[in-house]
Chain A
Amino acid sequence: MEDRPHKAHRPAQSGAKVEKKGKGKEKQRGFNEKAFAPKSGRRAERLGRRTAEKDQTRLHVPLVDRTPDDEPPPVIVAVVGPPGVGKSILMKSLVRRYTKQTMNDIRGPVTIVSGKKRRITFIECNSDLNSMIDVGKVADLVLLLIDGSYGFEMETFEFLNILQAHGFPKVIGVLTHLDLIKKATTLRATKKALKKRFWTEIYQGAKLFYLSGVINGRYPDTEILNLTRFISVMKFRPLVFRNSHPYLLADRFEDLTPREEIRLSRGKCDRNVTLYGYLRGTNLRLGSKVHVPGVGDLDIKSVQALGDPCPLPDADSERRRKLSERKKLLVHAPMSDVGGVMYDKDAVWINVPGSFTRGQTNVPQGEGEEMVMDLQDAPETLEDIVTRSKIRLLGSSSKSLTVDPSSSRTTRHDSSDSDESSFEDEDASGLEDADEPSDLGNGSDGDWEEGPSTGCSGRTTARTQQRPTLAAGRDNGPDEDDGNIAFADSDSDMGDGPRGNRVADDDESDVESLPSGEDEDEDEGMDQGNGDVPRWKVNLVDRAKDFISSSRPARRDWTKLIYSSDLSPRAIISSSSLDPQAADDDTPDDDDDFFRPMKAGKSAEKDEEAPDMSKLAIDEEELKGWDDEEMLDSIRHLFITGGNAPGDTNSDDEGDDAASEDDGSDDDANPDPEAAKAAALAEKKAELKRKFDEQYDDPESSKYATFYDEQKDALARQQALNRAEFADVDTETRTAVEGFRPGQYVRIELDDVPAEMVLHFNPHRPLIVGGLLAAEERLGYVQVRIKRHRWHTRTLKTNDPLIFSLGWRRFQTVPIFSLDDHSIRMRMLKYTPEHMHCYATFYGPVSLPNTGFCAFTSLASATSSFRIAATGVVLDVDRSSKIVKKLKLTGAPFKIFKNTAFVRDMFSSALEVAKFEGANIRTVSGIRGQIKKALPKPDGAFRATFEDKVLMSDIIFLRAWYSIEPRKFYNPVTSALLAPGSEWAGMRLTGQVRHEKGLAAPKAVNSAYKPIERPGRRFNPLRIPRNLQAALPYASKPRTMKPQKRQTYLQKRAVVMEPEEKKALAVMQQIRAVRKEQVRKRKEKQGERREKKRKEAEKVEGRKEEKRREEKKESMRLAGIKNKREEEELGRGRKRRKVSS
């Protein structure tokens, strides 16, 4: 029977069923257009409206993207997940995919070039909450790792909520450990369940990747390849907060504090550190503070733009690129050991694997080897170069500076323990000897080479530039060096040299500097040609010509005059006015007023003469000039009636298009006026042509289709203007005007950094430098709209410390919760309401309104519950707060008239009463009244009137509002200063403190519950006077009767029964007795039966209980084994925090 095969199913070949099936399939095929076509016009209209609405919801407010298009900073891709989920393996795999090299120990950010236009910085986020918060604030894309075999963990949800509070960057989910699920159906079900949950958390259709097992310590190459494809095409919408703040993810960190200072202070002194990284967000300006999360607010000491260590490929670099593997792919990860060079906290380690010989030039060397070889290649010591050099102290001095060997020796000793950054100095300029790297350069360097230049940007740029072009650099190194020594940089050329000359020549022209191009030419000519002619004699004729030409209405460099000269405004203005005499009059006055007797009269007069006034002093001379007809006619061309000016080539239509006209005039560098004129003409023609085309082709097309398009176009135009305006300006001016642009690799030097930051530096913690806006540097009362997170288990209490993550900062503060009470007052709440927003006010650093935040009660990783306590947004920033809490004053009446009562025990003095005169009061029973006036007799008693008569037993109360201010407590979370293994401890709750100290909560005597003793109330009988009683109508007369004194008949009669009656009574009694006995017996029996049944049931229950216990024991044993195995397998000590999905 069993071995017989089952009969196979044969589908019907004909009949009704076939037809039915066929029809059904027919129906399902394709898209039935009729089904979705509107049946009526009205419906069609409604449908149209709906699609239009849907289209509108797809639009977002156009935001300006501040990242430059040409050289954008690398995209930050963060790898985030709970411990043991495979983050490091993913990092390794990704780096391997892009650079073709395996990094063993990835620490800190890794920057790689991923394409022609894109670089990526990968950063792994450890599962510390502080790190997750910081990474969430800077990441552009998050790879959120989820253990597929385990499910979602708390960290994942916490991180997603952090992201939500700080602007949501793009998120790609990555499921790992899927190979641990053996059964295909389970795998499918798990994937589906996890995807569903992930989608509800992010958005429907969010990308989720599946990574199967690990091969060779990496994920499978094809899967990683797919992942990187998604990463490389990812587009990013600018986030508001990051679009208004400059920031930097530091990928390198150096301590520049002098060693000696550290030694003397036993490592405890404040440090001077530099942080390196790509600038992102907006332009970084000098003069603003920065916040380093985990450290605090710091002042920037200096900023320098460095050469890009990981540049995008351009045509030139592509041409030079060799096929050798190392050169091909660039990776920048100074905190990890990449390329054999490791930048440690205070040194650079060069790792040379295996044997290393100098001679092999054909073998490609690592970066480190090249550096060492460069050091060895230096042909001479710095001392030699110095003695040979021809540096002159002044531009005009004919003798060059000479160095006395003995003196140089002493300088060297003095500066022997200065910062180790000098190490880089050397490898930059390349003239160094390998033995004493740090001491040689510094003392001497500072003296002349660095002095005049504004920053030492030259040296580090050189170093980093050298990296990619080492082969070329080695050949012509020394030559360049010579040049460097002789004439430091273009900075000093511009600054001191020529000005010195000019001073010797004539006083006036030192203000009017020449066009800088000519300057440089002149200098260069001199350098090459005549070495021994004094400088001022060179080109006398040329300069005379220059002077004459410049004494015409001068093209003065106002920028330089205002910003880089320290002339007084008066001197600047007066030298610009038409007669140069004025300047000569005034400036010497200013200059040599050393040791001059004070002319009291004059100074007083001057004071009064130059008060802070906005109208300018009237120049009588100038006004006189307007008497002249010619003068009057000379400005006719400035009026619409006046026609063109004589020299003005622009015709009337110049006003038509301002922007284009001006853009045209921007591209100068065209000294030939003819060519300029021609260019201008051509441009104007092109403009006219464009206008004509626009009108001719379609006059409507020039109008924007929608408001949205118009806005976008306005933004684009402004961006184009931004780019064009400073394109041709030199770097220094550009930095002064613009600040440092995003995309630049900068070095930020910070002063007074706590020593712990250096001592306990951990590259696994993200190191961020967040720029602060002017308003954000201050502290004040911040009002926020807050909502307790619905997954947080406890309500939040007013005046309990809470840790906020707001802006760049993480800090602990003490909020007061409040609610708006009918728009009249902000009323304090003791606890946050359930499922509702409320306000919170706290003292802390100011943030711009509309900034999101999230709050925590504790950042410790020990808790198993959801750590995000609340989320919200900043509403208002102020220096005072308006929160009130209710205060009820109670009193009791002591004398009552009709509607008036005298009340006492509410106040303690007449003065207090006077303060509250006219205030509304109320009794508990609801009778409203008003305070009238204080009474003289008992202190603090007053007269009050009510709308009705109050009772003596009424309690009278006054509802008042008492204003409270949040405590001025602000405690930044200094997580970056923690020693490894320690947890940050902020202010504790009172309960925690008591618990830790073993104290009991104090009990207020008045709060204790005692038995309530209410004295019984005695009511007096109603007495009506006799004459009043007599006057009452009969119906109302009180019916008062005297108690009867004599016994009534019924009381005093005797009862004698008949014999029959007696008998009957006896029989009745007997019957009753029998019945009683019967009932008693029945009850007894029933009790016995019940008892028996109960015992039986007990027995059964006992057996069942036994069985249950057995089962439980078994299951716990199994679970324990499983847990143990898992922990051993994944090698992690920490217990996972599973979330039921």
Chain B
Amino acid sequence: MAIPTSLLHYSGHSHLRQRLVLSVLSGKPLKIDKIRPNDSNPGLRDYEVSLLRLLEKVTNGTVIEISLTGTAILVKPGIIAGGPVIHDCPLSRSMGYFLEPVIMLAPFSKKPLNLTLRGITTDEKDLSVDLIRTVTLPHLELFGVSDGLELRIKKRGAQPLGGGEVQFLCPIVKQVKTLNFVEAGKIKRIRGIAHAVRVSPQFSNRMIEACRSVVNRYIPDVYLYSDVYKGEDSGKSPGYALSLLAESTTSALHCAEAVSRPGVAPEDVALEASRLLLSEIQRGGCVDRKHQPLILLLMVLGSEDVGRCRMSSPTERTVQFLRDVRDAFGTSFKITPADKTNSSSTDLLYSCYGTGYINANRTIA
């Protein structure tokens, strides 16, 4: 059986975030080489460098060495310090890119994290701050990270100029709870936030109308909030987006989102969001596909008991994540069909034996 070594060594720029997170949590140094070696603009992108800077701020004693060409990095992780941190995100990626790894680290820091991020709040690559607030944070609550967990959206900032600001507050835990979430339940309510900044507030109403035309056929309990930021709080660029989430009887959450593009009517954006939500619901499981890595990570970090979660088939990111977890923590998942009698269901049951990860950074007085 292959024994993982104490150095995590990868090639290529992809999956940088999860590898950094795993390195910091497991304490193993991380070496990544061949970062876009053949690109016309080789090496790390500005947002990746910014992420490393953010990591440096959130932790204490982290040593990050970037090679001269930027095509290789070596990260010797320190401890997760937390506390008040302010970070300006570059305009190439939205805040979701930075928030996601921080959310994975924050419960295990020394002091409760109070992170202020400035930049773009919503784009089409990463989770928007709305989804993080309404979907990601409730997922953390499944693991006992709840008291004082908050994401405040102070200002919104659309692409391309941003200007948004959010504040992320996260408490610390000693150990995350073991998850046992195998019942997907049925969808009981749909909620949504339609926001529009620096455009006519009518846009959000139009999106809501269009969305209702699709989802109202299933369920009456649909509330879509129109969230309009004005003046200073609305950032520097115009834009609008619709974030939807469906909650089941067992509080499983599915979410989808669509962002305004030039030349696309708000109705089309809303339709896209609703259809994405429907396909997400169709895939089933207790956890959204976008949150698979987060859930799996927290399951691995649980106490030394069996944690189980029912999810749809893994995404590319999840597959790589599972492999990386094995490298970092030496543990793997048992993945079996969730429903053995019903052959049409594609749901899988992910079960793992927690590593008993205890927050060693925590201070006891």
Contacts and interface: CB of A to CB of B under 8 A. Distances in A.
B186 A737 contact: no
A641 B218 contact: yes
A573 interface: yes
A618 B276 contact: yes
B316 A569 contact: yes
A277 B353 CA distance: 23
B186 A562 contact: no
A1056 interface: no
Contacts of A849: 360, 362-364
Contacts of A737: 331-334, 351-353
Classify chain B: how many residues form its interface, as a range: 35 or more
B217 to A, nearest CB: 7
A726 interface: yes
Interface string A545-556: 000000011010
Contact of A569 (B284, B320, B365): B320
B230 interface: no
B209 interface: no
A869 B342 CA distance: 66
A300 interface: yes
Contacts of A244: 304, 356, 358
Contact of B337 (A299, A555, A725): A555
Contacts, number: 273
Contact of A638 (B96, B281, B337): B281
B3 A287 contact: yes
B275 interface: yes
A876 B361 CA distance: 7
Contacts of B185: 655
Interface string A494-508: 000000000000000
Given A244-B356, A558-B314, A607-B39, A879 B79 contact: yes
Contacts of A847: 360
A603 B38 contact: yes
A604 B39 contact: yes
A1049 interface: no
Given A604-B40, A662-B182, A286 B330 contact: yes
A127 B85 CA distance: 53
B346 to A, nearest CB: 7
B339 interface: yes
Interface centre among B186, B272, B284, B351 (most CB of A within 10 A): B186
A1012 interface: no
A659 B182 CA distance: 8
A736 B352 CA distance: 10
Given A286-B3, A563-B332, A610 B14 contact: yes
Interface in B60-113: 60-61, 78-79, 96-97, 100, 110
B329 interface: yes
B13 interface: yes
B278 A635 contact: yes
Nearest to A603: B38
Contact of A286 (B4, B342, B356): B4
A559 B341 contact: no
Interface centre among B26, B214, B330 (most CB of A within 10 A): B330
Contacts of A736: 1, 331-332
A881 to B, nearest CB: 11
B16 interface: yes
A559 B330 contact: no
Interface centre among A618, A623, A640, A846 (most CB of B within 10 A): A640
A677 B257 CA distance: 40
B356 A622 contact: no
Nearest to B185: A655
B317 interface: yes
A576 B4 CA distance: 28
Interface in B1-52: 1, 3-6, 13-17, 25-28, 36, 38-40
Contact of B183 (A64, A607, A654, A721): A654
B3 A639 contact: no
Contact of A726 (B27, B315, B334, B340): B334
A735 B331 CA distance: 9
B293 to A, nearest CB: 8
Contacts of A640: 186-188, 219, 249
A629 to B, nearest CB: 10
Nearest to A573: B316
Given A616-B315, A655-B250, A879-B79, A773 B124 contact: no
Contact of A877 (B303, B337, B361, B365): B361
Contacts of B96: 614
Nearest to B2: A286
Interface string A861-881: 000000000000001111110
A607 B48 CA distance: 14
Nearest to B108: A775
A659 B180 contact: yes
Nearest to B360: A775
Nearest to A659: B180
A623 B358 contact: no
Nearest to B334: A737
B196 interface: no
Interface stretch (A642-650, A704-712, A955-963, A969-977): A642-650
A829 B52 CA distance: 38
Contacts of B337: 555
B339 A614 contact: no
Interface in B154-190: 178, 180, 182-183, 185-188
Interface string B223-264: 000000000000000000000000001100000010000000
B355 interface: yes
A634 to B, nearest CB: 8
Contacts of B338: 665
Contact of A875 (B323, B349, B363): B363
A598 B36 CA distance: 13
Given A640-B219, A777-B27, A879-B60, A622 B279 contact: yes
Nearest to B15: A612
A522 B363 CA distance: 59
B198 interface: no
B55 interface: no
B284 A638 contact: yes
Contacts of A569: 316-317, 319-320, 323
Contacts of A317: none
Contact of B4 (A287, A626, A634): A287
Contact of B330 (A288, A613, A662): A288
A5 interface: no
Contacts of A563: 322-323, 326, 332
Nearest to A673: B341
Interface in B276-322: 276, 278-279, 281-282, 284, 289-290, 303-306, 308, 313-317, 319-320, 322
A598 B362 CA distance: 50
B140 interface: no
27 contacts: A244-B304, A282-B304, A562-B322, A563-B332, A569-B316, A573-B313, A576-B313, A600-B40, A610-B14, A612-B13, A612-B17, A614-B317, A616-B315, A618-B276, A626-B214, A636-B218, A638-B282, A641-B219, A647-B342, A659-B180, A665-B340, A722-B353, A735-B1, A773-B360, A778-B27, A780-B61, A879-B78
Q: List the 4 shortest-distance A-B pairs measured between CB atoms, nearest first.
A: A879-B61, A287-B330, A287-B4, A775-B360
Interface of A: 64, 66, 244, 282-283, 285-289, 299-303, 454-455, 552-553, 555, 558-559, 562-563, 569-570, 572-573, 576, 598, 600, 603-604, 607, 610-616, 618, 622-623, 626, 632, 634-636, 638-642, 647-649, 654-655, 658-659, 661-662, 665, 668, 673, 676-677, 680, 718-719, 721-722, 725-726, 729, 733, 735-739, 773-778, 780, 846-850, 875-880
Given A285-B329, A639-B186, A737-B331, 18 more contacts: A287-B5, A287-B329, A300-B3, A553-B346, A559-B333, A562-B335, A604-B40, A611-B14, A613-B126, A616-B289, A673-B341, A680-B341, A737-B334, A737-B352, A738-B353, A773-B356, A773-B357, A848-B360
